[in-house]
Structure 1
Amino acid sequence: MHSDVLIVGAGSAGSVLAERLSADPARRVTVVEAGPGPSDPQVLIQIEDGLRLPIGAASSVVRRYPTTLTTSPQRHAQLMRGAVVGGSGAVNGGYFCRGLPGDFDDWGLAGWTWEEVLGHFQAIETDLDFDTPIHGSSGPISVRRVAEFQGCTAAFVDAAIQAGHTWLPDLNASTADSPLPAGVGAVPLNIEKGTRVGPGGAFLQPAMSRANLTVLTSHQAGRIRIDRGRATGVDCVGPNGAVELSADRIVLCAGAIGSAHLLMLSGVGPETVLRTAGIPVQAALPVGVATADHPEWVLPVNWSPSRGALPLEAVLTTADGLEIRPYTTGFGAMVSGRRSDPADRPHIGVTLMRPRSRGRITVRSADPKVAPIIEHRYDSEPDDVAQLQAGTDLARELVRATTDLGPVSWSTSQHLCGTAPMGPDDDDAAVVDARCRVRGIDGLWVVDGSVLPKITSRGPHATIVMLGHRAAEFVAG
């Protein structure tokens, strides 16, 4: 089966890219997705309910990867990635904050300044709360904030304001000329009336009736075929066995883990790592050598769980790059939707949004079924640990009059990115150029969180959706 464009992964970026590229009826587009589609009612129930995170042990819409969060001592965790049409955007908490203008200007990349990405942020959304020039009013993804806080969120917001922190009506209001100050505000959410409005449902599903768009669900990509420096196809395993797909242009949208793993399986990565895994080298590039994520310290609190509330409704941001998050219930309730376990308590997350620490992802076998090694190395930068401690002290000071806080534990925001970063032509750390093309391999792009040169100062989901919208122009040529 041959296509003009073959997209590997129907996640947050891939869904947008597929819709944009297939809008031209003369362009044949095929999307390969390892997970199921939403036609199964049990799948749809899991991904639509915005009050829960469908990532528990019984979930059929996620894939789990072990990681090591810290090295001294070793602390282990699991990363969950959406394995369904819509990707991780179909299973997350609905947080839809844009990256800040300074994030993009700091990249220093042609085509990615704040002025150049703002139009794409506007195009993907309909902001139901703010009708201003910097917000979108006709995009497929609805964005809304909780208007009246109750329970945990109300207690936290009241404490923050009483402590002198500024109330911020719109966390997406920052511009290059008027950056937002630190303060507390309602989280922009892509959840409408309790229903998660992710990129898969908002972009890809309405386009699936197009005659020129084919979506192959439950097809796992195992290797990119590369012939004399050009990507020509992808080998997959589907429900009926092996499938060979070919295309003029191939775009990896399998996420920061999936795309990096597929590149390395195909011979694109650090030469020593590939040879150790028994993989012939096609292009020696620094895939997975300096990843980033948002480290998080979690503190349980004795507030009563909030009934009928979304997992995270408001956050406090600080001038030194912390985001303090009052989660409305315990992790078990977030996953199951059941909020009756008295031992499952709400918690506060203290998150470092501009970390210095860098991790890595390493292929360990030529067998696609063998997961890569993931190491976050959150404790590799003492300044990061000191900032997390300062944020924890601030959180304790804020809420100690209203609740007791339990002991701190290490966690992660599940925002792994930068496994195949963009960069200018003279950047030895870059895997793709500023148009998302893989260096040294013709006909191959990466368009997802892998390519972020630096992690954004907000959760990256909205930025990754924007990335898919922006990069469609590059792939279309």
Structure 2
Amino acid sequence: MTVPTLHSDVLVVGAGSAGSIVAELFSSDPACAVTVVEAGPGLADPALAAQAANGARLPIDAASRLVRRYDAELTCRTAHPVSIVRGAVVGGSGAVNGGYFCRGLPADFAEFPPGWSWPQVLQSFRAVETDLDFDGPQHGSFGPIPVRRSRELCTGTSQFVDSVARCGFGWIDDLNDATAAARSGAGAVPLNIVDGVRTGPGLAFLRPALARTNLAVLTDTQAVRIDIAGQRAVAVEVLGPQGPARLTADRIILCAGAIGSAHLLMLSGVGAEAMLREVGVRVRAVLPVGAQFADHPEWLVAAGWPGTPGRAVLEVVLHHEELELRPYTSSFGAMVGQSDPVERPQIGVALMQPRARGRLSLVSADPRVPPRIEHRYDSESEDLAALRRGVELAGAIVGAKPVEAEPRWSTSQHLCGTAPMGSDDDPDAVLDPQCRVRGIDGLWVIDGSALPRVPSRGPHATIAMLAHRTATTLVGQDRMR
């Protein structure tokens, strides 16, 4: 059987938040042929497009065609297995999430390699957005992603805000203003949901570019392995509706997310030597892929007010020290349209600067077998102490007694850092400061995998910034040649 081959100047694996931005920027040069491979469906089906655009509901229920599910282990000492989801559709997780578009803090970028200081990343934070509430040097006015904060709060959020004020916390007008966002206080969440419409990078960046003749998007097409010849990535083997194919490119960019990109690297022989040999994968480059990812652990406690379905998932959050308290507007079941709307919502107590590090590992050379995901949230006693302080604070805010039993473990589903960038002397770095895989020519990873640390806020806006800044730099270098 002859496997068809398609060649591009740039091959982007994954049409999620990062991949959409990367593909749009590279394809803005008509002389650059760009192919995008997306494992999930496109949004030509009006029903799927409507689900992705509806900011009042999370289209991640058990019947959803827009997500892929993974089993994950949250803790080490007690069985806390959960099912986590990632967007598997044009737009990726940015097409199915709650619209939280809060930037990382300046202090987060102190751990990034040179070239990623706050003044430098601010340019790309501004470039991807149009902030409809604030202008000035902190905000963008011409970017494709609209950002707005809720003005009319639902009953539960209003009660939370009043209680927070009674507890002595102030109000932060703009959580995306770096001069104010680092202090304790509550504030309205910057959302990429405007008038009920969720506008992630897929809708904002990639969809308008689809008419370009130099851009091809292959949906329902799974990347299964990177072909590495010597020390250069030359092709990606894929399985699509027409069967297997081999996609060659001068530049291969993985944007499949912190789980998908790391899994693909390991399947292709890039990772820890012992792990690869154990499952029979030929070693191409020994790098610490998946060795110490991070995520935001979350404990859930009951709120004392009724839910209000049909709203954004979060309207307001409270930041205090390393904690974020999240008064969800409705129960999770109501968010996905699968339970009684009067069911009580919960308050999420999330640790935004966790010390615990997780592990993502390869268990089979078969691409159909997902990796093992171990968050190890309970591996650091200081993290547990901080979460307990957060539960006590939540109790004080809602006027309830502290919870005696541990609240329910959950995860923010903000997994980052499975292939972190770093300086040449950083032993934990998988990528160089421009997101190129160390020791492999022609191969980059541009998505949440590349973050050296999980940001102190939800990572979506930071991942969009990372994609914009990295791709802009690479496109500029190409044009100067």
TM range (shorter): over 0.9
* C-alpha deviation, 1:405, in angstroms: 11
Query: Any residues of structure 2 matched to 1:188-199 within 5 Å, and which?
Result: 188-199=190-201
The corresponding residue for 2:60 is: 55
* C-alpha deviation, 1:339, in angstroms: 6.4
Paired residues, what number? 471
Does structure 2 conserve the Cα–Cα contact (< 8 Å) formed by 1:305 and 1:345?
yes
In 2, Cα distance between the equivalents of 1:474 and 1:220? 28
The corresponding residue for 2:350 is: 351
| 95, 111, 115: which one aligns with 1:111 | 115
- The CA RMSD measured in Å over matched residues stands at 1.6
Query: Any residues of structure 2 matched to 1:33-432 within 5 Å, and which?
Result: 33-107=38-112, 109-175=113-179, 180-319=182-321, 321-336=322-337, 340-342=340-342, 344-400=343-399, 408-432=407-431
SS at match of 1:264: helix
In 1, Cα distance between the equivalents of 2:144 and 2:249? 28
AA of the residue aligned to 2:464: V
SS at match of 1:202: helix
In 1, Cα distance between the equivalents of 2:332 and 2:234? 44
* C-alpha deviation, 1:475, in angstroms: 3.2
Deviations 1:156-209 (A, max 9, x none): 01100111101001000114xx66311000000000100100100000000010
Does structure 2 conserve the Cα–Cα contact (< 8 Å) formed by 1:302 and 1:405?
no
Does structure 2 conserve the Cα–Cα contact (< 8 Å) formed by 1:301 and 1:403?
no
In 1, Cα distance between the equivalents of 2:76 and 2:125? 37
* C-alpha deviation, 1:79, in angstroms: 1.2
* C-alpha deviation, 1:46, in angstroms: 1.4
AA of the residue aligned to 1:347: Q
SS at match of 1:37: coil
In 2, Cα distance between the equivalents of 1:204 and 1:217? 13
Does structure 2 conserve the Cα–Cα contact (< 8 Å) formed by 1:445 and 1:475?
no
* C-alpha deviation, 1:74, in angstroms: 1.8
Does structure 2 conserve the Cα–Cα contact (< 8 Å) formed by 1:303 and 1:403?
no
Deviations 1:204-248 (A, max 9, x none): 000010011011111000000000110001000001100110000
Q: TM-score, normalised by structure 1?
A: 0.96
Does structure 2 conserve the Cα–Cα contact (< 8 Å) formed by 1:300 and 1:405?
no
Q: TM-score, normalised by structure 2?
A: 0.96
Does structure 1 conserve the Cα–Cα contact (< 8 Å) formed by 2:40 and 2:89?
yes
Does structure 2 conserve the Cα–Cα contact (< 8 Å) formed by 1:295 and 1:413?
yes
* C-alpha deviation, 1:357, in angstroms: 0.1
AA of the residue aligned to 1:376: H
Moved more, 373-382 or 465-474: 465-474
User: Structure 1 residues 280 and 307, CA, compared in 2 at 3 Å: closer, same or farther?
Assistant: closer
**Moved >2 Å (runs of 4+):** 338-342, 401-407, 473-477
Deviations 1:10-54 (A, max 9, x none): 011100010011001111111000000110122112111101111
In 1, Cα distance between the equivalents of 2:405 and 2:99? 27
SS at match of 1:118: helix
AA of the residue aligned to 2:231: G
SS at match of 2:252: strand
SS at match of 2:213: coil
| Structure 2: runs of 5+ lacking an equivalent | 1-5
